[in-house]
Chains A and B, each alone.
Chain A
Amino acid sequence: MFGKGLLTGLGVTFKRMVGPNITEFYPEQKPKLPTRVRSSMGLQRDKCISCNMCAMACPNGVIKLTSEKDENNKKVLKSYHMDVGRCLFCGMCAEACPTKALTVTQEYENAVYEPEDMDWDMIKRAERKGKVG
């Protein structure tokens, strides 16, 4: 029948109208992220053996770490910096990590005001309260 498509279309939009919204009210309600989201890095200092494998695996040279030997002649992490402005969040560093000290996390509110703030001190980040990783 001529014009049947028009009525079908009206039906479709009406169903959408009375149906649920798909909007996420972001600042008030935190979004549910897909499991594969890679948006931040986290370091567990006590697990790290300062092997430098992560820095070697990084395609962009993001990771810079320094270490010193302790009395048992073991390497102890002294500083761990990531230049996040160049980071792809590809996760190859986390893959290379033999002790799983470095992990990809789903923390996402990473915007900063100054370019210098993109240089993450991972040890300090790990000590922040209530943050993942």
Chain B
Amino acid sequence: MDALNTINNVFLIIAAAIRSLFADPHSVWANLTMDVIDFIIVVIIVVLAALILILLERKVAGWTSQRPGPNRLGPRGWFQTIADALKLMGKEDITPSGADKFIFKVAPMIIFSLPMMTLAVIPYGKGMAPINIDLGIFYFLAISAISTVAFIMAGWGSNNKYSLLGGMRAVAQMISYEIPLLFSLLGVVMITQSFNLGVIVEAQRTVPFILIQPLAFVIYIIAGLAEVNRAPFDLVEADQEVVAGPFTEYTGLRWGLFFLGEYGNMTAVSALAATVFLGGWQGPAPIPGWVWFWMKVGIIIFFMMWARWTFPRIRIDHLMHLAWKVLLPLSILNIFLTGLGIYIYRLVMGG
């Protein structure tokens, strides 16, 4: 049990050791150092997630169509993404002549910075949130909503009709799905009476919220898929219709940033789902909390990939129907039922 506790808190112990190097462990400089280290860790998480997930995606795509996926480079092809990343770095950086140069160049940077900002509030283990803020969910959704702007910036800045079409689709889709996404999380917030992700995880010690809020979880997963523009909701980058949407004109490392951002956002959405609905770092078996957390994130990401390689792309009007006529009423119904449940609970318990 003691060893397990040590493994469980290994990162906290390391953090305390770094802090103890300072004369005053809670001075401004110690805090600043810890913040920088936290930032670097989050960047590493985003980059690692992209490296692993791109390969995993190709593997899952292969397995689904009865192929082995990448299998040449390294053991069973596990080094493929590294080679791809090096290739992207070596490519020529092209800016189209008619492009709005500033917007064109700043859009991928925004996309890439968003998952770093959102992943910073996720509690990876007990007391292991890089930034512990009380408006965690609120902050998360506010930041992830900025990606809509980045998509329309990329679409507009490219000076390409397909890119602009893709950007417009991104705006329509992401704004529509933001509403059910937000409302699906409200039920949990109503139960815990807190926006703080740490408090929400603590509240799931006995029962994860997926059992109390199954409808909200389903809505969250569907809306989350649409939020990160993954198939079957990949109308934004639909290759057959708008080439690659906002990404058409990007080359080399800029395009790579979009890719990193996409997989980083996917990780962030999965991490929020794991935190809010699946109990975050809490689990029944004696496994370190951060392992629990990443296992849950992995399961959700796998489901996202599985769905991508199963379903065909949804039509744009059906997309809007689903958001406004199905998911939104259902999420409002869920809020209503949750409120009713809380009211009855209080009536019975006399709270």
* A interface: dominant SS: helix
Verify if A16 is at the interface (C-beta below 8 Å from B).
yes
Verify if B345 is at the interface (C-beta below 8 Å from A).
no
Q: Are B66 and A13 in contact (CB under 8 A)?
A: no
* Other-chain residue from A16, A22, A25 in contact with B64 (beta carbon distance below 8 A): A16
Q: Are A9 and B66 in contact (CB under 8 A)?
A: no
Contact with B along A1-38 (1 / 0, CB 8 A): 00000100110111011111111010000000000000
Among A9, A20, A23, the one with the most B-chain Cβ atoms within 10 Å of its Cβ is A23
A14 CA / B309 CA spacing, docked (Å):
10
* B contact residues, range: 10 to 19
A21 CA / B60 CA spacing, docked (Å):
12
A21 CA / B68 CA spacing, docked (Å):
7
Chain B residues with CB under 8 A of A14: 306
* Other-chain residue from B60, B71, B311 in contact with A17 (beta carbon distance below 8 A): B60
Report how many residues on chain A are interfacial, defined by Cβ distance under 8 Å: 15
* Other-chain residue from B66, B71, B307, B310 in contact with A22 (beta carbon distance below 8 A): B66
Chain A residues with CB under 8 A of B68: 21, 23
Q: Are A20 and B306 in contact (CB under 8 A)?
A: no
* Other-chain residue from B60, B64, B66, B310 in contact with A23 (beta carbon distance below 8 A): B66
Chain B residues with CB under 8 A of A9: 310-311
Q: Are B67 and A6 in contact (CB under 8 A)?
A: no
A12 CA / B306 CA spacing, docked (Å):
11
| 8 Å CB interface, B48-73 against A | 60, 63-68, 71
Among B60, B65, B68, B310, the one with the most A-chain Cβ atoms within 10 Å of its Cβ is B310
CB of B106 to closest CB in A, whole Å: 38
- Report if A16-B306 is in contact (Cβ < 8 Å); known contacts: A6-B311, A9-B311: no
Which B-chain residue is minimally distant from A18 (CB atoms)?
B63
A12 CA / B66 CA spacing, docked (Å):
12
Q: Are A13 and B306 in contact (CB under 8 A)?
A: yes
CB of A59 to closest CB in B, whole Å: 39
Chain B residues with CB under 8 A of A18: 63
User: What is B's interface to A at a CB cutoff of 8 Å?
Assistant: 60, 63-68, 71, 306-307, 309-311
User: What is A's interface to B at a CB cutoff of 8 Å?
Assistant: 6, 9-10, 12-14, 16-23, 25
Which 7 interchain pairs have the tightest Cβ spacing? Answer: A17-B63, A13-B310, A22-B66, A9-B310, A13-B64, A23-B67, A21-B68
